[in-house]
Homo-oligomer: A and B are copies of this chain.
Amino acid sequence: MKAKVAVVGYGVIGQRLADGVARQEDMELVGVVDVQPTLAIRALKDKGMPYDLYAAAQEFIPVLEEAGIPVSGTMADLLAQVDIVLDATAAGIGKKNKEIYQQYGVKAIFQGGEKNEIADIFFHGYANYNQGVGKDYLKLTSCNTTGLIRSVDCLDKTAGIEKIAITIMRRSADPGDTHRGFVDLAKVEPVPNHQAVDLMTIMPHIDATGLLVHFPMTHGHIINVLAKTKRKMTKEAVLQVFNDHPRIKVVKIADGFNSNTALFRYARNLGNPRGDMYEIAVFAETVAFSGDDLMYAINIPQEAVVIPETIDGIRAALKMHQNREEALAATNQYLRLE
C-alpha cells in the first residue's frame, strides 16, 4: 500500500514537495492545503487541478471559491486520509499546525524555518537517516544546510572531516518575490552562521563555523567550503566522490557553468519542471587545496534542493525502509537522480 501524503502550504517549497511526492511510485499525494488564491494556487487551477486542494480552515473556502478555485474540503478532511504531512508553511505556523497533526495522529515533517524543538529529530537523508526511522516529527535542514551536508557527508564517509569553515553567499529573494530583497549591497551577518551550527547538530564530530553574506540575487546560493580531512585526498579523488553522488552534479566553469544563473538557464533549457534542479553543483575548477585543507565551491538551488531529503524523511518516518541506502536509492530513482 502506498504511503499517503499531504502537503500543507503550497508556496515555493510546498509546490515542489507536492510534485516530488507525486513522482514517487510508492507514495500517493492525497492533497495540498492553502489559505488564499495565491498565484501558485491559480496556476494549480489553470493547469487543471492535478492535486486536490483543501482549505486550511472552513473560513478560507469562500475566498478560494470566489476566485474559481475548486476546494475539496478542509485540512481536517485531508488529515483524516493521510499518514504524514509535509508542512511547508511560513516559519512559526508549523508550530501551531503541529497541535492539529497530533490531534489527528498524523506524522509530520517540518521545513528548516521552524525551531528544532518542534521535532523529534533534525533530519538529513544522507547524514542521519537511521535516527529518523519511525519518528513522528522530523525537521528538515534548510536549503543551504541540506546542500552543504550532502557534500560534507560524502567526503566525511571517504576521508573523515575534522572541521570546516564556510562562506555562504546567499540569495536574498526567490525569483518573483516582491516582498523582500536587497539592492546593490552585501549584507554581512555575525559569525557563526546558523548553517554551521545546524551542521554540528547533525554531524557532531565536525567542528564548523562560517560567515554568511546576503546578495542581491535570486537564483541560488554559493558556498565556499574549506575542510580539513583526516586523510589527504587528491583533487581527482574529491571530484570522483562528488561525481558518484546522485544528488551532486560536477560542472566545469570552462564549459560555461560559470554562475548560479548558468545552472538555472541550463535546467530551464533541459526542460526540468520550473527550471528546477534537485542537485547541488560543484564547480570543478574551484576544487583546490589550502595547504592540506580542501577547498571547493558549491551552488545551492534554494527552491528545490530540500525536496529529495524531505522525501527521504517520509521513508524514514513511515519506516518504509529500515535501510538508509535503500531509502535514498528509492527517492533518487523516482526523481531520476543518478
Give the shortest distance, in Å, between A224 (CB) and chain B (any CB): 5
Taking a contact as CB atoms under 8 Å apart, the answer to whether A213 and B219 are in contact is: no
Q: What is the total number of copies of this protein in its complex? A: 4
Interface flags for A270-304 (1: CB within 8 Å of B; 0: not) read: 11011100000001011111110101010000000
Give the shortest distance, in Å, between A117 (CB) and chain B (any CB): 26
Stretch at the interface among A120-128, A138-146, A169-177, A305-313: A169-177
At the interface, yes or no: A215 with Cβ under 8 Å from chain B? Answer: yes
Interface flags for A179-207 (1: CB within 8 Å of B; 0: not) read: 00111111111111000000000000001
Contacts A175-B264, A191-B295, A290-B207; is A217 near B269 (CB within 8 Å)? Answer: no
Taking a contact as CB atoms under 8 Å apart, the answer to whether A163 and B216 are in contact is: no
Taking a contact as CB atoms under 8 Å apart, the answer to whether B269 and A184 are in contact is: no
- List the B residue with the shortest CB-CB distance to A228: B291
At the interface, yes or no: A46 with Cβ under 8 Å from chain B? Answer: yes
Give the shortest distance, in Å, between A254 (CB) and chain B (any CB): 8
Give the shortest distance, in Å, between A301 (CB) and chain B (any CB): 12
- List the B residue with the shortest CB-CB distance to A283: B188
At the interface, yes or no: A209 with Cβ under 8 Å from chain B? Answer: yes
Taking a contact as CB atoms under 8 Å apart, the answer to whether B271 and A273 are in contact is: yes
Q: Which residues of B contact A47 (CB under 8 A)?
A: 270-271
Q: Which residues from 47 to 100 on chain A have a C-beta closer than 8 Å to any C-beta of chain B?
A: 47, 67
Taking a contact as CB atoms under 8 Å apart, the answer to whether B269 and A40 are in contact is: yes
At the interface, yes or no: A237 with Cβ under 8 Å from chain B? Answer: no
Q: Could you tell me the distance between the alpha carbons of A190 and B192 in the complex, rounded to whole angstroms?
A: 26
Contacts A43-B269, A213-B222, A274-B275; is A258 near B188 (CB within 8 Å)? Answer: yes
Contacts A169-B169, A209-B290, A217-B184; is A226 near B226 (CB within 8 Å)? Answer: yes
Q: Could you tell me the distance between the alpha carbons of A184 and B171 in the complex, rounded to whole angstroms?
A: 9
Q: Which residues of B contact A182 (CB under 8 A)?
A: 173, 178, 181, 183
Q: Could you tell me the distance between the alpha carbons of A257 and B189 in the complex, rounded to whole angstroms?
A: 10
Among B188, B208, B213, B260, the residue within 8 A (CB) of A185 is B260
Interface centre among A224, A287, A293, by most chain B C-beta atoms within 10 angstroms, is: A224
- List the B residue with the shortest CB-CB distance to A37: B255
Contacts A188-B253, A188-B283, A273-B271; is A163 near B261 (CB within 8 Å)? Answer: no
A-B residue pairs in contact (CB < 8 Å), sample of 6 = A15-B269, A39-B256, A164-B290, A181-B183, A190-B253, A215-B217
Contacts A181-B182, A188-B222 supplied; 7 other A-B pairs, CB < 8 Å: A38-B256, A39-B257, A42-B266, A172-B183, A176-B261, A192-B288, A207-B291
